[in-house]
Structure 1
Amino acid sequence: MSESAVPFVASTLAVPPPSSGIGWLDEARHENLAAFGEAGLPDTRVEAWKYTALRALSQRSFIHGDAQAATRDIDPEAFALPGLDGPRLVFVNGVFRGDLSDLSALPAGLALRPLSQALAQDPEPLRFALARRYKERGDAFAQLNAAQAIDGVVLRVAAGAKIDVPVRLVFVGVAADAELAWHLRNVIELGEGAELTLVEQHVGSGTARQLGTLVADVVLRDGARLQHTVAQDASADATLVHRHALQLGAQAQALLHVLELGGALVRHDLQADLVGNGARLDTRGVFVPRGRQHIDTQLAIRHQALNTTSDSTWRGVADGRARGVFRGAILV
């Protein structure tokens, strides 16, 4: 770990992992935080971070969590999407807001709830995702997320269920009295032959100088179909690091649309494993940084079975002194 990383790393290590009382989860949290402390933030000598320097971030420190998030005044119009009135989960500065969410009429076959509730009621089905140890160079933010995230989304679609209304996941960043760090973990699973349309929104207001990390594990069982749209328009002062890890079974299909607009420093890691014969993944993305924004997208697709197909189209336009980065890799 370099000396330049000390302020960020030191302030992060000063916050011990939250205790859940679940042995395997607490062990994974401690091991991931220890790995983060040993390696620190990646520098540009790490290939995956070659074009995104974290020197400025390494000199900052953040307060973990927002004690006022549950009562902050949020205008629902800030994340309203005309014509999309289906189920939604809303988080403000990393805290679940039941008053802004809508779980009143979930379609048959859809289970949707905050991660904190799922862990309290039945944690074992989440073990495959939450017990992971991240050990690759450049995995600092995944390690940090795995160590500190106490909430997020658990979404499951039963085998054969076709959800005919879009489901929304909304993440709102608002200004607080201090620079905040928040971490959320999403676990999404579509059963065999299930179908879902998912809309993920990141919105910000004011000068929300904060660091947010979000890691999502998405599993599509055989024959499942997912349409996933990510619309990111975070606060102009925010640092957002989000990672989507997809696994597609036989004949499963996923269509991912990504629009990256906001944030001061945004990093989006998209990792997909096509593990079943005949799986197909289509990705479409646009990033439009302005001013001094820096938006970095990393796409890695691994074809691990027969007759799998992927198709990716990304476009970027940078204005002023902004910078856009795209790095893609396809392994067959």
Structure 2
Amino acid sequence: MNQESDMALASYRSAQATLESTDLLQDPDWIRDLRAAALGSFLSAGFPTARRGNETWKYTNVEPISSVIFHCPEQGLKPETKDLDSFVIHETNWTRLVFLNGAFSSCLSTPSLVNDGISVSSLANSLKSHSNILQKYLGQLADYSGEPFTALNTAFLHDGALVHLAKDTRVDAPIHLLFLTNSRKSDVVTHPRVLIIAEEGSQATIVESYGSFHNERYFCNTVTEVFVDSNAEVNHYRLQRHTNLAYQVGTTQVQLQQDSRFSSVALDLGGSLVRNNLTVLTDGEGSSCKLNGAYITNGKQHVDNQVIIDHAKAHTSSRELYKGILSGSSKAVFHGSIIVRPGAQKVDSRQEDRNLILSEDAEADVKPAFWINADDVKCGHGTASGRLDDDEVFYLKSRGLDENSAKRLLMRGFIKEVIDGIQCETLKLHVNDLVDSKLEDL
């Protein structure tokens, strides 16, 4: 570990000590103990390194993060309404929680949704009203041992979003969790946290969005835990729209019980260095997941998706489709792992990653991996990287389109299969607008 990393570790130790000493956080002992243990784990492990033998970080160098001393952002800064509008999905029946610099902003959010069947509120506000639930679930999936960035997030855990659905509760309108960095100073860090608990027979659609108002360098380190009980269903969408100076490491851990369903669409458009860790554990027979992802990169962007589907029980299924469009000297990494445990017969799993390479200097590193410990399963994968078809471009030009319009139309068609996984039409229209805007910049 170099001197810059040592200084960064020391700065996190100091910042966490300051956090614990403030009168602002009169938190229960159990969460203070959780933070302290996580900090110890992070300081002991240090930052991961891109080296031979460390396969999960082989293609991603986190030195841009580990060599910088990031600071906790100032609080109380409110954006202009016009700036917020570009991030808000304007539907009157949606529940929206907005977090500025990691802290819940009640004035920018819709009223928290709390009734007999559902609770959508900030973690900080829930420590008193839902302390037993938080103590039971928080940190149970996001194990920080051996995961430095999860440990770092947990060490600074003081706010975030709680979505708790009671048995047989169905929420028709989506829940939007919006995390924004608002600082005119560079080198700030936030640690957003999300806890989603869907009890037996419940159903909800949840959208996580990330972005910033200013084009400054910052670091966003996120952790999301999703518990889906038997016969429950969660549709989860993540939209990442950071500036091209930002760094993000995001970890999502999902546990599925019997006959439950989880679908996900993840969209990465911004960020200088982005790392996404998604793990789904099918822990009950009949459970299933469908994971879609899209990334569109240009310049020197680096996006790394590490996806693990762990089939722990028999008669479970998974579908995984990731697609990328790369230009400039950008780089994408996809490492998809399918695990089938002993006794998990009748598993049906399919994994695909496909990339459209628009320039000579763009690069896609794809590594599928399978660990099959049962003999009566169907598991397959497909990978492909290629360029736009010149004949298709020529045909569209012959129909009256200019070359750039023809190429954008083909790129939209390439990414459409992923976006079609979004079941909410309003959100799908919003995402299509974001994709069109990004494609204009390629």
TM-score bucket of the superposed structures, by smaller chain: over 0.9
Q: Which residue of 2 aligns with 1:32?
A: 38
What do the CA deviations read for 1:238-291 (whole angstroms, capped 9, x no partner)? 111111100001000111011111111111110110001100000011111111
Matching residue's letter, 2:157 = A
- Tell me the CA shift for residue 200 of structure 1: 1.4
Matches within 5 A, 1:196-215: 196-215=204-223
Instruction: Give the partner amino acid of 1:89.
Output: L
Is 1:149 aligned with 2:157? yes
Which residue number corresponds to residue 166 of structure 1? 174
For 2:294 and 2:28, the matched residues in 1 are separated by 40
Identity fraction in percent: 28
**Deviation of residue 301 (structure 1)?**
0.7
Q: Does 1:306 align with 2:349?
A: no
Q: CA RMSD in A?
A: 1.9
Hey, what's the Cα distance between the residues in 2 that align with 1:53 and 1:130?
A: 29
**2:47 corresponding residue in structure 1:** 41
Tell whether 2:121 aligns with 1:91. no
Mean alpha-carbon deviation: is it higher for 189-198 or for 80-89?
A: 80-89
Q: How does 1:1-332 map to 2 (within 5 A)?
A: 1-17=1-17, 18-19=19-20, 20-45=26-51, 46-69=54-77, 71-74=78-81, 75-83=83-91, 85-103=93-111, 109-131=117-139, 134-136=144-146, 139-332=147-340
- The alpha carbon displacement at 1:104 in A equals 6.0
Q: Which has the higher contact order (CA 8 A, sep 6+)?
A: 1
Q: Is the 2:4–2:68 Cα contact (8 Å) retained in structure 1? A: no
- Secondary structure of the 2:134 match is helix
Q: What secondary structure, in the 3-state scheme, does the structure 1 residue paired with 2:106 have?
A: coil
Q: Which stretches of structure 1, 4 residues or longer, exceed 4 Å deviation after superposition?
A: 82-85, 104-108
Q: 1:165 to 1:106 in 2, by over 3 A?
A: farther
Do the aligned residues in 2 keep the contact of 1:237 with 1:264 (CA within 8 Å)?
Answer: yes
Which digits, 9 at most, give the CA deviation of each residue in 1:170-191, with x for residues without a partner?
1112333242111121110111
- Measured in 2, the distance between the counterparts of 1:154 and 1:56 equals 31
Q: Which residue number in structure 1 is paired with residue 394 of structure 2?
A: none
TM-score of the aligned structures, taking structure 2 as reference length: 0.71
CA distance 1:119–1:65, change in 2 (3 Å): farther
Q: Which amino acid aligns with 2:197?
A: E
User: Which sections of structure 2, spanning at least 5 residues, go unmatched?
Assistant: 21-25, 341-442
Tell me the distance in 1 between the aligned counterparts of 2:37 and 2:113: 39
Shift of 1:89: 0.4
**What residue ranges of structure 1 are gaps of 5+ in the alignment?**
none
Q: Distance in 2 between matches of 1:38 and 1:250?
A: 37
Greater Cα offset, 103-112 or 236-245: 103-112
2:16 is paired with a residue of what secondary structure? coil
Q: Is the 8 A contact 1:197 1:227 kept in 2?
A: yes
Question: How far apart, CA to CA, are the structure 2 residues paired with 1:85 and 1:320?
Answer: 41
Shift of 1:107: 7.4
Secondary structure of 2:314's aligned partner: coil
CA 1:43–1:313: 2 relative to 1, 3 Å: same
Mean Cα deviation higher: 115-124 or 186-195 = 115-124
- 2:97, 2:112 within 8 Å by CA — same for their partners in 1? no
Q: CA deviation at 1:72?
A: 4.2
1:76 deviates by: 2.9
Whether the 8 Å CA contact 2:73–2:183 is kept in 1: the answer is: no
The one-letter amino acid paired with 1:215 is V
Q: Deviations for 1:137-162, whole angstroms, at most 9, x for unmatched residues?
A: xx111000010120000101111111
- The question of whether the paired residues in 2 share the 8 Å contact of 1:173 and 1:235 is answered with no
Structure 1 residue 84: Cα displacement: 6.5
Which 10-residue stretch deviates more, 3-12 or 36-45?
3-12
Contact 2:294 2:323 in 1 (8 A): yes
Tell me which protein shows more helix as a share of its residues: 2
Larger Rg, first or second structure (1 or 2) = 2
1:292–1:321 CA contact under 8 A, matched in 2: yes
CA deviations over 1:11-61 (Å, ceiling 9, x no partner): 112212543442222122111111111221100122211111012222211
1:107–1:289 Cα change, 3 Å = farther
- Aligned to 1:64, what secondary structure does the other structure show? coil
